[in-house]
Chain A
């Protein structure tokens, strides 16, 4: 039987339950270090009294994002292997254009895929996260560090250099456990596929080598014209080659004929040839001078 107004009572009960549960949860939090907990929406007051209580980094939601960070893998030798290859995709895709990258060069001034300098103007950055979305090397990711206020030298402290942007991969894994796992999985699969492909290639190469050897052995007995004939199976190309050959032969014949004639004539012809060629070469220069 439907009783009108019963849903009003249901609603009232819900708010009363919320009212009581917030106090119960307050009492429960008193013992535990309430500072370290993300207040879930399921129970208790969700407010974090920010200046007095601070959520530790990583206690918020995984996809929470504040400012990009650069990731490096710690090598066993103690070296920092920065994932960034300074390809510049992040700088191109950045809507407010706040990323500035300088590519590293070796002693021969040849660029190497490493950033020499990496700046992010955090006063311009709008925390959109597009850089991390577009990075093909999982090198730039969004940080969780939200407590950024500073009292000294604001102008310069807004400009983050590589030193401030670099974080170890473990830090990223801690902040983004799900995303990191997915990326690791993707990387692993990619590496596997690559390895497979390489193995297949090697196998194919080996097979080819064997086949080629056999073919060579078989062909050694065959005539030398065979490859020519094989080449001529493209009629157009063959025709073109034939035409070129004919032309060359004609030119050669002409030249020989000219040689056979008197030297002055030859000199004339040569001068003519060189003149046209020099004219051709210097024509842009000449037009410039003109």
Chain B
């Protein structure tokens, strides 16, 4: 088990063995950190496209099953080679740059969108000792890097010189700016409890129990996950793409691999949101049964992947279930619902912090926190409930049984 647990760490050590043997000890000592970073980055650069390939296949399969179809099943067993076929197609396709576009921005946008999507993997704790850099400001890093994607979308939409693309990118800007706020506030509670912005510390702080089991963690997870879905334009928040309204949105004018890069960024974003939800609220790579059994069932990186893919599945589940929100409803949801809820989450976390540890914290915390959350939910959605259900409960008109004489 220890072997498997340390598999990737050992692989890295093995990769480092070559320069260690070749370089003089002094030089090696100076560059060891850099070399290990390079190895880690290469690993991520291999991992990210592979994840994207798998996610495209998985999404098509999951959504197909929800619609009682088989999904891809022609290429390879269960259509498993479909993403490779798609990849080959993407590379083979002509890269069309329309005459009217701004060529520099047009070509730059797919790269600009992909780079932050991959960069975010740097602070992702894949397993025990499996984090590229243990940044002490990881949360800030995530926040700032993930919002760069908006610039890329704006670049793509503006440079395409296409009305649909422009509308799409403006929508994307409005959406991402709105959802960044609840996203950030939902992470505040986590860093309050963990006492650190480092993703590694946050994972380790959950050894006593996953944050999602607490009221503030539960609410925080929901807000984080939903805002994250909006942040990476997943359904039901895929207003910028909105293929039924805006053709394809900001990537209408793209073809070939540039189009593929947009897709890769989207899938990597979804994966990253799922992975960070795991990290912040579901104990990251921690084995939930280890404290009970005393030994690990699965290696930590497998636990991480397992949990992440459950949440990725939820993304696909959303896609298979929910229709797209209208733009105004989307922004209302961010500003009038998620933001107040995220603000409420902070005092609930504080309350939890000051309650004495033990069963009393769980009972009192959940009683107070839960009722606060539910009350707030009802308060925030009261007008909508009234609007939705009110007309069905309106008393019916009195039925006129006698004939009414006409007025002359």
B89 interfacial contact with A, CB 8 Å = no
Task: Please give, as numbers and ranges, the residues of chain B lying within 8 Å of A18 by CB-CB distance.
Answer: 65-68
Tell me which residues across on chain B come within 8 A of A49, comparing CB atoms. Answer: 70, 73
Within 8 A of B (CB), among A46-66: 46-47, 49
- Judging by beta carbons under 8 Å apart, are B385 and A47 in contact? no
- Residues of B whose CB lies within 8 Å of any CB of A are 62, 65-70, 73, 317-318, 320-322, 377-378, 381, 384-385, 388-389
Q: Which of B66, B68, B322, B384 contacts A44 (CB 8 A)?
A: B68
Chain A contacts with B in 131-178, Cβ cutoff 8 A: none
Contact at A3–B62, with CB atoms within 8 Å?
A: no
CB neighbours (8 Å) of B73 from chain A are 49
Task: Flag if B321 contacts A14 (CB, 8 Å).
Answer: yes
Contacts of A229 in B (CB 8 A): none
Tell me whether A30 is interfacial, beta carbon within 8 Å.
no
A12 to B316, CA, bound (A): 11
A47 touches B378 (CB 8 A): no
Shortest A174–chain B CB gap in Å is 28
A interface residue numbers (CB < 8 A to B): 1-5, 8, 11-12, 14-16, 18-19, 22-23, 41, 44-47, 49
Q: How many angstroms from the CA of A4 to the CA of B390 in the assembled complex?
A: 13
Q: How far is the CA of A49 from the CA of B79 in the complex (A)?
A: 14
B70 engages A45 (CB within 8 Å)? yes
Report A200 CB to chain B, min CB distance, Å.
52
Identify which of B62, B377, B381, B388 contacts A19 (C-beta below 8 A): B62
Q: Are B320 and A5 in contact (CB under 8 A)?
A: no
Assembly CA distance A45 to B68 (angstroms): 4
Contact B377 A3 (CB under 8 A): yes
Tell me if B70 and A4 are in contact (CB < 8 A): no
Q: How close is B329's CB to chain A, nearest CB, in angstroms?
A: 12
What residues on A are CB-neighbors of B377 within 8 Å? 3-5
Q: Ordered nearest first, which 9 A-B pairs have the shortest CB separation?
A: A4-B381, A15-B321, A15-B66, A2-B385, A19-B65, A22-B65, A19-B66, A15-B320, A46-B68
Which residues of B have CB within 8 Å of A8? Answer: 322
Write the chain B residue with the least CB distance to A20: B65
Q: List 19 A-B contacts (CB under 8 A).
A: A2-B385, A4-B385, A5-B377, A8-B322, A11-B321, A11-B322, A12-B322, A15-B66, A16-B66, A16-B317, A19-B62, A19-B66, A19-B317, A22-B68, A23-B65, A45-B65, A46-B68, A46-B69, A47-B68
Chain B residue numbers with a CB within 8 Å of A23 are 65
Q: CB-nearest residue of chain A relative to B381? A: A4
On chain B, the residues within 8 Å of A16 by CB distance are 66, 317
Contacts A15-B320, A19-B62: A5 and B381 contacting too (C-beta < 8 A)? Answer: yes
When the two chains form the complex, which single residue of A3, A14, A45, A46 contacts B378, counting CB atoms closer than 8 Å?
A3
Closest to A1 in B: B378
Q: Which residues of A contact B388 (CB under 8 A)?
A: 2, 4
**Which residue of A4, A8, A44, A49 has the most chain B CB atoms within 10 A of its CB atom?**
A4
A8-B322, A19-B320 are known contacts. Are A47 and B389 too (CB-CB below 8 A)?
no
In Å, the complex CA distance between A49 and B72 comes to 12
Residues of A within 8 A of B66 (CB): 15-16, 18-19
A29 to chain B, nearest CB (A): 12
